[in-house]
Chains A and B, each alone.
Chain A
Amino acid sequence: MPAPAVITFSLNILSAIVALLTSYYAYRFNRIVDNSVLRAISVGFMLLGVGLIADAGTSLVSGKTLVESFADRILILLVSFTYLTVQMAAYLVIAVGYAMAAYGKRLDRAYPVALAGAAAVGLYRFSILSYFVALILLAFVVFQGLLIHSRGGNRFSAIVLLAFSLILVAHVVLLLSVLTLGSGLFLVGTAVQFFGFVSLLAFVVRSEIVGAR
């Protein structure tokens, strides 16, 4: 397997592990707290983890990064459709959940509509559109995170905000890499996304340590 594909595979697998770990913690604490926002976070990060594993699988099977393998249309159509659709759905679930945290329960009724929207979006052609949609959703998540943090947030909300901001920046770079078909940019985007997940890991570990004191 060429070096860029190995790097993409490794970073995506590590990011997937952090996403699934975050999903597990949200699920575990939701059993105590019973909160719809935590449920959304749990489902969102689970979808993200699955999507990242699918993307890592592309590198493993084709030996190429997502952008490099754009030439292999058949394979990429199958695998990246799954990845990008799942990714969009994940960010949508998190965005709606985050908005519920920021605005209270008023969005409860909008939730099924939003999920149905995600399913509808999944039917669209993927590629640039899906990256763009994921980018808009992430920008929304970061905006909500800023709102929450500015309303008396603490260091925990700051770390989560940093994580989502890094993932947003990563998606800007990833979108550029898709537009320019630049595999160097794709690697940079994947690396920035990985650091976003490292921030999330720092948050999960910190909340464990603080809780145990």
Chain B
Amino acid sequence: MAQGEKQRSVLRINLDILNAVQDMGDAKPTHILYKANLSHERLTRYLEDLTTKGLIVVNQEGENRTYRLTPKGVSFLIEMRRAESFVQGFGLAI
């Protein structure tokens, strides 16, 4: 981590992952990994967590694995973005 760079919160990382998944529709792990700027190990952990919470769903076709937002995930993402806009007004960050 660069000096002076703040560590991302779990919420921020989840938001980055969900944004990445939404941007790509059916998102491959490598694309999410690149967009969310995470190591493979950490990404796997976060993806498992988001899947368990029902925010994303895995689609496995042969060796290809992709992720997609569930309706619950879409609602959560919208609420997170609203929260982000709101807290920015008071000088806070997610």
Interface residues of A (CB under 8 A from B): 25-26, 29, 32-33, 35, 37-38, 41, 97-98, 101-102, 144-145, 148-149, 151, 153-154, 156-157, 159-160, 203-204, 206-208, 210-213
Contact residues in B for A160 (Cβ distance below 8 Å): 89-90
Contact residues in A for B80 (Cβ distance below 8 Å): 32, 211
A37 to B92, CA, bound (A): 8
A25 to B86, CA, bound (A): 8
Once the chains bind, are A38 and B90 in contact (CB under 8 Å)?
Answer: yes
Once the chains bind, are A101 and B85 in contact (CB under 8 Å)?
Answer: no
Known contacts: A211-B82, A212-B82. The answer to whether A156 contacts B89 by CB under 8 A is yes
Q: Does B59 contact A (CB under 8 A)?
A: no
Contact residues in A for B88 (Cβ distance below 8 Å): 153-154, 156-157, 207
Once the chains bind, are B83 and A29 in contact (CB under 8 Å)?
Answer: yes
Known contacts: A32-B11, A33-B11. The answer to whether A207 contacts B82 by CB under 8 A is yes
Residue total for B at the interface (Cβ-Cβ under 8 A): 17
Query: B50-94, CB under 8 A of A: which get 1 and which 0?
Result: 000000000000000000000000000011111111111111101
Query: B15-26, CB under 8 A of A: which get 1 and which 0?
Result: 000000000000
Interface residues of B (CB under 8 A from A): 11, 78-92, 94
Contact residues in B for A153 (Cβ distance below 8 Å): 88, 91
Once the chains bind, are B85 and A38 in contact (CB under 8 Å)?
Answer: no
Contact residues in B for A26 (Cβ distance below 8 Å): 86
A204 to B85, CA, bound (A): 9
Cβ of B13 to closest chain A Cβ, rounded Å:
14
Contact residues in A for B81 (Cβ distance below 8 Å): 210-213
Closest 8 CB pairs of A and B: A211-B82, A148-B91, A207-B85, A156-B89, A211-B81, A29-B83, A160-B89, A207-B86
A17 to B89, CA, bound (A): 19
- CB-contact partner of B91 in A32, A157, A208, A213, under 8 A: A157
| Other contacts beyond A35-B87, A101-B91: 20, CB < 8 A | A29-B83, A29-B86, A32-B11, A33-B11, A37-B90, A41-B90, A101-B90, A101-B92, A102-B91, A145-B91, A153-B88, A156-B85, A156-B89, A157-B88, A160-B89, A207-B82, A207-B86, A207-B89, A211-B78, A211-B80
Cβ of A53 to closest chain B Cβ, rounded Å:
23
Once the chains bind, are A33 and B91 in contact (CB under 8 Å)?
Answer: no
Question: Which partner residue on chain B sits nearest A145 by CB separation?
Answer: B91
Question: Which partner residue on chain A sits nearest B78 by CB separation?
Answer: A212
Once the chains bind, are A32 and B79 in contact (CB under 8 Å)?
Answer: yes
Once the chains bind, are A38 and B87 in contact (CB under 8 Å)?
Answer: yes
